[in-house]
């Protein structure tokens, strides 16, 4: 299937790198006219040229700091001037500082709130009039499993991501509030909550397969590997397209089963073995014979 966004105009924030760059490439490949932006002008220009080289339609406003309200307003005026309106807003732009609460400076806390939560308030506020003018549309927020009420917000319950977790929890609450507020205007509002993603920056932080940092992540998942940026772009495409016209207020977790497992990962064989004798004492097993069925062995959760 192709052309799923034909005739649509999509504003994507933070297109300089990572997931947002992949979303820009995917939306343009599906026929959207894309408007990107980033505070890093050089990286934003790289994405712009990459999308155009692939045959996509894209303009970009960079460098731009979307925590400045006048700049946020200018982004959507720019999009309307370039392509006549706005149908989709995909909120990706983000900066944050990591740390435990007691070790964090006020400046780092404020930077994270401004660039992870307030920024998206401003972009959405100034997108809404343009979406109303089109008779509806789709707003997508980049949430995170960190914003869910599961542990500390980071694999292994490590206290390293606290301000980001609080900001992303605010994003998820904002999604539900806006879904209610904007439903009469036929504007759908949803979130994507990724787990840990194999972006260039992510790989630099998580390290190679088998590293101690990578192991903490993968041990928390039912699919024990990092997400690919394409996984996030696929989810964004669904929420941006007409295939999701009856979907609003959703937090779509693209997390390898992190939330479903409560951050605990796959069941460990040694844990099953520890419980097996006691369960044998208290359980009556009703086995039914089957024929022609051969059990397959798991391959470790890797995807083709």
The reported pTM is 0.91
Q: From the centroid of its chain, how far is CA 208?
A: 22
Which range has the worst mean pLDDT, 3-7, 286-290, 291-295, 297-301?
A: 297-301
Query: Encoding tokens for residue 63?
Result: 């460098």
Residues 162/101, Cβ–Cβ less than 8 Å: yes
Has 164 been annotated as catalytic?
yes
Mean pLDDT throughout 158-180? 94
pLDDT category, 154, cuts 50, 70, 90? confident
Q: Domain 9-254 is of which CATH architecture?
A: 3-Layer(aba) Sandwich (3.40)
Q: What is the pLDDT of residue 294?
A: 67
How far apart are the C-alpha atoms of 187 and 135, rounded to whole Å? Answer: 8
Delimit the domains of the chain by residue range. Answer: 9-254
- Reported as a single tens digit per residue, the pLDDT across 47-103 is 999 999 999 999 999 999 999 999 999 999 999 999 999 999 999 999 999 888 898
Q: What confidence tens digit (pLDDT) does each residue in 188-222 have? A: 999 999 999 988 888 888 888 889 999 999 999 99
Neighbouring residues of 151: CB distance < 8 A, sequence distance ≥ 6 = 157, 262, 263
Q: Does residue 255 surpass a pLDDT of 60?
A: yes
Catalytic residue among 83, 154, 164, 258: 164
Neighbours of 244 (CB within 10 A): 18
Integer Cα distance of 5 and 25 in angstroms: 12
Angstrom distance (rounded) from CA 77 to CA 129: 11
Q: Provide the pLDDT confidence category of residue 7 given band limits of 50, 70 and 90.
A: very high
What are the structure tokens assigned to 81, written together?
A: 């001037």
- Round the average pLDDT of the chain to a whole number and report it: 93
E strand or H helix that includes residue 276? helix 269-282
Helix (H) or strand (E) holding 111, with range, is: helix 106-113
């Amino acid at each position: 299937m192709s052309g799923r966004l034909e005739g649509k105009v999509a504003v994507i924030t933070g297109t300089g790198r990572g997931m947002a760059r992949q979303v820009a490439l995917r939306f343009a490949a599906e026929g959207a006219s894309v408007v990107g932006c980033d505070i890093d002008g050089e990286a934003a220009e790289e994405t712009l040229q990459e999308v155009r080289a692939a045959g996509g339609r894209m303009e970009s406003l960079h460098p731009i700091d979307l925590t400045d309200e006048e700049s946020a307003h200018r982004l959507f005026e720019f999009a309307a001037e370039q392509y006549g309106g706005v149908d989709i807003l995909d909120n990706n732009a983000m900066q944050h500082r990591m740390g435990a609460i007691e070790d964090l400076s006020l400046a780092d806390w404020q930077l994270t709130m401004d660039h992870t939560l307030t920024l998206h308030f401003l972009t959405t506020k100034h997108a809404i009039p343009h979406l109303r003018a089109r008779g509806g549309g789709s707003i997508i927020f980049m949430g995170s499993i960190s914003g869910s009420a599961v542990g500390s917000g980071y694999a292994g319950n490590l206290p390293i991501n606290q301000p980001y977790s609080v900001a992303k929890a605010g994003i998820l609450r904002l999604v539900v509030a806006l879904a209610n507020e904007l439903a009469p205007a036929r504007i759908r509002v949803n979130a994507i909550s990724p787990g840990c993603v194999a972006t260039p920056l992510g790989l630099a932080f998580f390290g190679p397969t088998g590293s101690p940092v990578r192991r903490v992540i993968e041990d928390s998942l039912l699919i024990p590997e990092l997400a690919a940026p394409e996984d996030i772009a696929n989810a964004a495409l669904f929420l941006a397209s007409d295939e999701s016209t009856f979907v609003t207020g959703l937090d779509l977790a693209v997390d390898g089963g992190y939330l479903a497992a409560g951050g605990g990962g796959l069941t460990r064989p040694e844990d099953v073995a520890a419980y097996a004798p006691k369960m044998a004492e208290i359980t009556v097993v009703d086995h039914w014979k089957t024929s022609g069925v051969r059990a397959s062995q798991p391959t470790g959760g890797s995807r083709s």
